[in-house]
Amino acid sequence: MAPRLCSISVAARRLLGGPGPRAGDVAAAAAARFYSKDNEGSWFRSLFVHKVDPRKDAHSTLLSKKETSNLYKIQFHNVKPEYLDAYNSLTEAVLPKLHLDEDYPCSLVGNWNTWYGEQDQAVHLWRFSGGYPALMDCMNKLKNNKEYLEFRRERSQMLLSRRNQLLLEFSFWNEPQPRLGPNIYELRTYKLKPGTMIEWGNNWARAIKYRQENQEAVGGFFSQIGELYVVHHLWAYKDLQSREETRNAAWRKRGWDENVYYTVPLVRHMESRIMIPLKISPLQ
């Protein structure tokens, strides 16, 4: 302890404008620096190093469904405005063939045009039953599908840009199932602060019960590949007025306000899209 106390007194004298250190003080201070450098348990290191117990499971393992191995892909296509009708017609002619072909381990979940939000945009949601192996199997087969390759070539001339993400579904959300319409859909996208996905999931696992009375909860997903720490919540409503009434009703339920209070600080950015389903969408 003596070397450490001596080094502290040297620093204190300097701050207080006292006399400079003696030779013994200098030697003691050097010893203290050596000790703190090489000894992980030193008091000095403990001031700056915060040790945490690492998690033994990724948040993808902790938050996703255990009973299924579904992987989802969401696609955002920004279409040239003058081509939107042609894009929709081409999409409706080709994509159902993949959805109905048993040789492809993929299925359409939903297809939409954005109504409010980014304009002239198409959103597609796919499910791959069997996870990453099913995704790779489907991709390899599509490389040899001449009709699909021609579809992509023709489609590319209609697009301004496109992007996608691979998603897993939260264990506490409903799995998206086909719906009769007419409905509008809201895709609420939350970009979270890195490291907050577990906390988000814990809060929403309790909060989802407040949003089930009108069967508006369609699906909840979080990104695995693409932009990370992104959450998508998909909701269905009869119309915009129904959406307003349903959301207001949630605020009258005790406990919903706590979910909002605890999750809002986790968000870096959020976006809402109101979407209209295409004719081929299983979610109508």
Q: Are residues 100 and 193 in the same domain?
A: no
Tell which of 167, 187, 203 closes a domain: 167
Residues 243 and 177 in one domain: yes
Residue 212 counted as domain residue: yes
Tokens in use for 262? 């605890």
Q: Quick one: 136 and 222 in the same domain?
A: no
Whole-number Å distance between alpha carbons of 210 and 254: 9
Nearest to 215 by CA among 242, 255, 187, 254: 242
Structural domain for 183, as ranges: 169-277
| pLDDT, position 242 | 95
CATH of residue 269's domain is 3.30.70.100
Distance CA 146, CA 128 (A): 21
Same domain? 263 vs 198? yes
Report the first-to-last Cα separation within the chain, whole angstroms: 74
pLDDT of residue 280: 96
Same domain, 231 and 205: yes
pLDDT, residue 253, reads 87
* pLDDT at position 21: 47
**Residues 160, 207 share a domain:** no
Q: Do strands 217-225 and 121-129 pair parallel, antiparallel, or not at all (unpaired)?
A: unpaired
Report the domain count for the chain: 2
3 inside domain:
no
Judge if 136 and 174 occupy the same domain: no
Residues 229 and 184 in one domain: yes
The reply to whether 186 falls in a domain is: yes
**In-domain check, residue 73:** yes
- The pLDDT value recorded for residue 125 is 98
Tokens read off for 234: 């998909």
DSSP structure class, residue 49:
-
Helix (H) or strand (E) holding 188: strand 184-192
CB 99 within 8 A of CB 279: no
State residue 83's pLDDT score. 98
Question: Chain-centre distance of CA 10, in angstroms?
Answer: 52
Q: Are residues 154 and 182 in the same domain?
A: no
Residue 87, phi then psi, degrees to nearest 5: -60, -45
Q: How far apart are CA 89 and CA 100, in angstroms?
A: 18
Q: Are residues 252 and 179 in the same domain?
A: yes
Beta strands at 121-129 and 70-79: parallel, antiparallel or unpaired: antiparallel
Whether 75 is covered by a domain: the verdict is: yes
Q: Which of 115, 133, 167 is the last residue of a domain?
A: 167
> Is residue 35 in a domain?
no
Amino acid 6: pLDDT: 41
Whether residue 239 is contained in a domain is answered as yes
pLDDT tens digits, one per residue of 32-84? 444 444 444 444 443 343 443 444 555 555 676 665 579 999 999 999 999 99
- pLDDT tens, N- to C-terminus, the chain (284 residues): 444 444 444 444 443 444 444 444 544 444 444 444 444 444 444 334 344 344 455 555 567 666 557 999 999 999 999 999 999 999 999 999 887 888 889 999 999 999 999 999 999 999 998 999 999 999 999 999 999 999 999 999 999 999 999 999 999 888 999 999 999 999 999 999 999 999 999 999 999 988 887 889 999 999 999 999 999 999 999 999 999 999 999 998 888 888 899 999 999 999 999 999 999 999 99
- Please check whether residues 208 and 263 belong to one and the same domain: yes
Beta bridge partners of 234: 187, 219
Task: Give yes or no: residues 147 and 183 share one domain.
Answer: no
Task: Mark which of 145, 167, 189 sits at the end of a domain.
Answer: 167
**Residue 218 resides in a domain:** yes
d(CA 226, CA 27): 55
